[in-house]
C-alpha cells in the first residue's frame, strides 16, 4: 500500500473494483477538502454509483441524493442531478493541473455549484484547468479506477463501497 504521510488528509476509497488511495490537497482547495471529509465521515458516499464514466476522460460519482443504492431517494435515471443537503461551495480554482489521477469537483455551468459530486481523471484533461476545483490526487489504485464500467449513463454501474478518511480507519 502507498505510504500515507498525512492520514488526516488522505482518503481511502473502496470501490466495487478495488481500493483507491487519494491524497487530499487542503492547501489548494480547503473548503472542498473539508466537504469531502465531512461527507466521508457521515458515510454519505457509501453505496453511491459511478453514474458517468467516459473512456479516456473521467469517472464521475458522488451524487449522494439520487445515486446512493439502497436509499429511499435512489433513482438511476436521476443519478448525477443531485448533491447533498449541504450548501453549494464557492469555486476554489487553482493552477493545479488536471492530470491522470486528479480528483476534482463536478459542478453545473455555475462555477459556485459544486456540492458532493466529483470525478477522477483517467487521462490528462488540460481544458479543465482553472475551471474546476481540484481537491486530490490518486496515489495508489489507478488500475482499479481504470476498471470502472463505462457509460453515460452506466447500466449496472460500479459504486463506492466505502470512502473513509485514513485517520479514522
**Res 22: pLDDT:** 98
CATH of the domain at 156: 2.40.100.10
State yes or no: pLDDT of 1 exceeds 70.
Answer: no
Say how far apart CA 51 and CA 149 lie, in whole Å. Answer: 9
pLDDT in tens, 146-167: 999 999 999 999 999 999 999 9
Mean pLDDT of 115-137: 98
> Can you give the pTM of this predicted structure?
0.97
Mean pLDDT of 89-97: 98
Is 2 contained in some domain?
no
What is the DSSP code string of 34-75? HHHHHHHHTTTTTTBB--EEETTTEEEE--TTTSBTTSTT--
Number of folded domains that form the chain: 1
> 16 lies in which domain range?
7-165
Amino acid at each position: 500500500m502507498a505510504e500515507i504521510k498525512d492520514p488526516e488528509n488522505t482518503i481511502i476509497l473502496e470501490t466495487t473494483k478495488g481500493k483507491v488511495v487519494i491524497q487530499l490537497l487542503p492547501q489548494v482547495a480547503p473548503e472542498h477538502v473539508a466537504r469531502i471529509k465531512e461527507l466521508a465521515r457521515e458515510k454519505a458516499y457509501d453505496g453511491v454509483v459511478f453514474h458517468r464514466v467516459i473512456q479516456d476522460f473521467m469517472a464521475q460519482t458522488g451524487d449522494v441524493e439520487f445515486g446512493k443504492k439502497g436509499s429511499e431517494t435512489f433513482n438511476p435515471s436521476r443519478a448525477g442531478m443531485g448533491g447533498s443537503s449541504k450548501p453549494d461551495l464557492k469555486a476554489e480554482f487553482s493552477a493545479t493541473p488536471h492530470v491522470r489521477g486528479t480528483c476534482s469537483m463536478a459542478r453545473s455551468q455555475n462555477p459556485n455549484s459544486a456540492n458532493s459530486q466529483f470525478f477522477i481523471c483517467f487521462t490528462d484533461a488540460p481544458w479543465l484547468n482553472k475551471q474546476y476545483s481540484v481537491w486530490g490526487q490518486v496515489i495508489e489504485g489507478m488500475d482499479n479506477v481504470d476498471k470502472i464500467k463505462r457509460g453515460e449513463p452506466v447500466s449496472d454501474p460500479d459504486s463506492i463501497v466505502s470512502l473513509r478518511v485514513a485517520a479514522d480507519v
